[in-house]
Structure 1
């Protein structure tokens, strides 16, 4: 859905950029990324910036969810003022927070 609103950035480098710029709302990481070390800095950045992040099992499934045929190891849903996705992002953020408690 975020892809349709041009609020989706794919790849570890793009996710890192959005986190450092402070425009990231939600980060999704693939648990089967090899080597896993290419993703290990992202959860630390997320916690510094208070951005919710989750791991999914498969980079293939994450790629399909992002609307591409290639595997994706990380993606970020970015903030956009007045976006229709804002309530959905807040709901997801609240669900993630609830899982952590």
Structure 2
């Protein structure tokens, strides 16, 4: 199996230690029902041509299915603590609307290197290209979420 390359547009990219901490937290958040998986397509610039979005929808229909708009929904509803995206998503443009939305909503975001590792941490056998850790004031994960959130915010500075 060929390894996917990390796209240079994926910024900020977590280092190995932070990636492990994030994936551990994602796994714990799954058990506490504080994890939402999936990304929604963004609007593509006209520079790609009029048929680019239709081509992407045809070639990558899995990413554009109605099940994959969860990260965008959690951001718009104000439920998200932070967003985790993968740097090896192909094409990366299917994720690049999320950092803009995160900045508008003041929600930290980070890229991790592997979509298969994120999928495993989310408890599914398929690759996951985006996940949202959701807020819950009474959660036992609150201190861990705040610690990771602080580390992600340091990467963005």
**Which structure 1 residue ranges, 4+ long, deviate > 6 Å from structure 2?**
none
Residue in 2 that maps onto 1:31: 87
Please give the alpha-carbon distance, in whole angstroms, between the structure 1 residues aligned to 2:136 and 2:156: 26
**Residue of structure 2 equivalent to 1:9:** 36
- Decide which of 123, 129, 138 is 1:82's aligned counterpart: 138
Work out the number of aligned pairs and report it: 101
For the residue of structure 1 that corresponds to 2:89, the secondary structure is coil
Question: Which runs of no fewer than 5 residues in structure 2 stay unpaired?
Answer: 1-27, 40-68
Distance of 2:108 and 2:145 partners within structure 1: 10
Q: For residue 49 of structure 1, report the CA deviation from its aligned partner.
A: 0.9
TM-score normalised to the size of structure 1? Answer: 0.94
Richer in strand (by share)? 1
State the match for 1:18 in structure 2. 74
Specify the SS of the correspondent of 1:3: helix
CA distance in 2, matches of 1:100, 1:34: 23
Partner residue, 2:118: 62
In structure 1, what is the Cα distance between the partners aligned to 2:90 and 2:155?
26
CA deviations over 1:50-99 (Å, ceiling 9, x no partner) = 11111011110110111111100000000112111111111011112223
Q: How far apart are the structure 2 equivalents of 1:57 and 1:5?
A: 24
1:52 aligns with 2:108: yes
TM-score norm. by structure 2 comes to 0.62
Q: Distance in 1 between matches of 2:107 and 2:76?
A: 11
For 2:91 and 2:108, the matched residues in 1 are separated by 23
Q: Distance in 1 between the 2:144 and 2:136 partners?
A: 13
- How many angstroms apart in 1 are the aligned matches of 2:77 and 2:156? 26
